[in-house]
Amino acid sequence: MKYRAILFDNDDTLMDFQTGNRNAVNSLLDELGYFHPDRYEQYEEINLSCWAELERGTMNQAKLKTERFARFLARYRIPGDPVKAGDRFVELLGEQSILLPHAEETVRRIAAERPVIIVTNGITKVQRARFAKSPLQSLAAAVVISEEIGVAKPDPEMFRIALKPFGIAPQEALMIGDRLSGDILGANRAGMDACWYNPAGLPLTEGVHAEYIISDIRDCAAIALQE
């Protein structure tokens, strides 16, 4: 067989993070009494900048949980405690376990023949709550969360840690994910083949390569299971 293990990203590859995140953000802002028509976009601008800092290694996960709300509340002069807002958001997001179309059937097909390992840069409390509500929990051989192991994609160490219990080298595995800056770049750095799930048809950025590019998640099954 070409690949002995298959690694999947979770958010926006298997789970519909965009819908779940929007639901959780809007619920929190309802509770805070902030009803600006662009409130979600305002929050996301700050949130994404914090995640970019995490990927660059200039912010850790513990700080991110509060810092994004500290910046958001301060910028838009919203009364509230950023620590409490961050904790409440984690609770609300943990309730969101929405799978993208065909994700379950694709993982189920691959998991019947290869170990499937989900690797995510998510927050432990959020991701564990979401997986507990999802069929992915029983299909995955392991779920590796950045906050629990102390490194995050694109650090190649995250991929090595995920594979180590299975005795599988990076060159024997395939990484499937939607983010060039985390999933695909990380696989490149680890010496692992990469399948970029790219439903929007975006171009590859310079310095990143993918052995496979797909727009339908179902197409990764034949790639993953090739002999």
Owning domain of residue 134: 5-16+99-224
Which two structure tokens, joined as six digits, stand for 10? 């979770």
Last residue of a domain, one of 94, 129, 146: 94
Taken in order 22, 28, 31, 37, is the CA torsion positive or negative? Answer: negative
pLDDT tens-digit map of 193-219: 999 999 999 999 999 999 999 999 999
> Do 89 and 182 sit in the same domain of this protein?
no
The per-residue pLDDT for 115 is 98
**CATH classification at residue 39:** 1.10.150.240
The per-residue pLDDT for 8 is 98
The total number of structural domains that make up the chain: 2
pLDDT tens-digit map of 84-110: 999 999 999 999 999 999 999 999 999
Please tell me whether the peptide bond between 154 and the residue prior to it is cis, using omega within 30 degrees of 0: yes
Contact 125, 116 (CB under 8 A): no
pLDDT band at 122 (very low <50, low <70, confident <90, very high): confident
pLDDT band at 61 (very low <50, low <70, confident <90, very high): confident
The per-residue pLDDT for 119 is 98
Exposure b/e, 30-50, CB count within 10 A at least 16 = b = eebebeeeebeebbbebbeeb
Query: What does pLDDT average to over the chain?
Result: 96
Last residue of a domain, one of 94, 112, 130: 94
pLDDT tens-digit map of 30-43: 999 999 999 999 99
> Do 163 and 78 sit in the same domain of this protein?
no
One DSSP character per residue, 150-214 reads: T--TT-HHHHHHHHGGGT--GGGEEEEES-IIIIIHHHHHHT-EEEEE-TT-PPPPTT---SEEE
> Do 31 and 116 sit in the same domain of this protein?
no
Contact 151, 161 (CB under 8 A): yes
Looking up tokens 């700050």, which residue turns up? 46
pLDDT band at 141 (very low <50, low <70, confident <90, very high): very high
Taken in order 146, 94, 217, 115, is the CA torsion positive or negative? Answer: positive
> Do 83 and 126 sit in the same domain of this protein?
no
pLDDT tens-digit map of 161-197: 999 999 999 999 999 999 999 999 999 999 999 999 9
List strands edge to edge, sheet with 142-145: 142-145, 116-120, 5-8, 173-177, 193-197, 212-214
> Do 107 and 158 sit in the same domain of this protein?
yes
Q: What span, in angstroms and rounded, lies between the C-alpha atoms of 43 and 76?
A: 10
**CATH classification at residue 144:** 3.40.50.1000
Q: What span, in angstroms and rounded, lies between the C-alpha atoms of 178 and 14?
A: 10
Looking up tokens 């910046």, which residue turns up? 71
Q: Tell me: pLDDT of 4 over 90.
A: yes
The per-residue pLDDT for 62 is 87
Q: Tell me: pLDDT of 128 over 90.
A: yes
> Do 128 and 189 sit in the same domain of this protein?
yes
The per-residue pLDDT for 116 is 98
Q: What span, in angstroms and rounded, lies between the C-alpha atoms of 163 and 167?
A: 7
pLDDT band at 123 (very low <50, low <70, confident <90, very high): confident
